[in-house]
Amino acid sequence: MITVPLRTVPGLNAREHFAVRSKRVRKEREAVAWILRDQPKPLVPCTVVLTRVAPSAGVDDDNLVGALKGVRDEIAKWLGVDDRHRNQVRYRYAEARGEWGVRIDFGPPVVGAQLAFDIADEGSAPTQRERSIDAALSMLIEAGRILDAAQVPTADRMVWDPATNTVIGGRK
């Protein structure tokens, strides 16, 4: 669990000038980037749970998402995965009472989501994403879902469905 000492506003209900909002979001993102800079990156795919901690009674769910938008954007940048890719990183939200802050927890991928992997050209240096793919495939092999690497489809693109624990090959 990573804690960012950050006072968040009540999301979409915050009535502020666009320039004030821009400055606030930039500072929120800088604070998150500062805290994450020395943290080890989790393997992608993963789940990110963002918990808004505030002394108030809380906000409704759409304002909760809005209050943590800058935090989410900075985490996505740090992970190197656009936050619109729900199949690679799934964001969940929670609230807690306490001193102002945001808690960030990383967990395993959500069961039932399909996870798409692009297979890289042979001979090039492995990227973080390719190392994540290798780790996921190793996990499937160790769990007995794939008996050996020869069972991995030789395709440009593979999809792993955690709900059925199967790897599906196909073309882009």
Q: What is the pLDDT of residue 128?
A: 63
- 3-class secondary-structure state, position 170: strand
Question: Residue 144 belongs to what domain range?
Answer: 115-170
Last-in-domain residue among 107, 126, 146: 107
Q: What is the pLDDT of residues 36-87, one digit of tens each?
A: 999 999 888 888 999 999 888 778 888 888 889 999 999 999 998 887 777 7
> Are 96 and 129 members of one domain?
no
Domain shared by 34 and 78, yes or no: yes
Report the pLDDT value the prediction gives residue 9, as an integer from 0 to 100.
80
Structural domain count of the chain: 2
Please identify, among 107, 128, 160, the residue that sits at the C-terminal boundary of a domain.
107
- Per-residue pLDDT tens over the stretch 108-156: 876 544 444 444 444 555 566 666 666 666 666 666 555 444 445 444 4
| Per-residue pLDDT at 109 | 76
CB 132 within 8 A of CB 44: yes
In the beta sheet, which residues pair with residue 96? 53
> Could you tell me if 95 and 10 lie in one domain?
yes
Residue ranges of alpha helices (H) inside 37-92 are: 61-67, 69-79
DSSP codes, 96-160: EESSSEEEEEEEPPPTT--EEEEPPPTTSPP-HHHHHHHHHHHHHHHTTSSSSGGGS--SSEEEE
Residues 6+ apart with CB under 8 A from 151: 167
pLDDT digits (tens, 9 = 90+) for 11-44: 676 777 888 888 888 998 899 999 999 999 988 8
Q: Are residues 121 and 99 in the same domain?
A: no
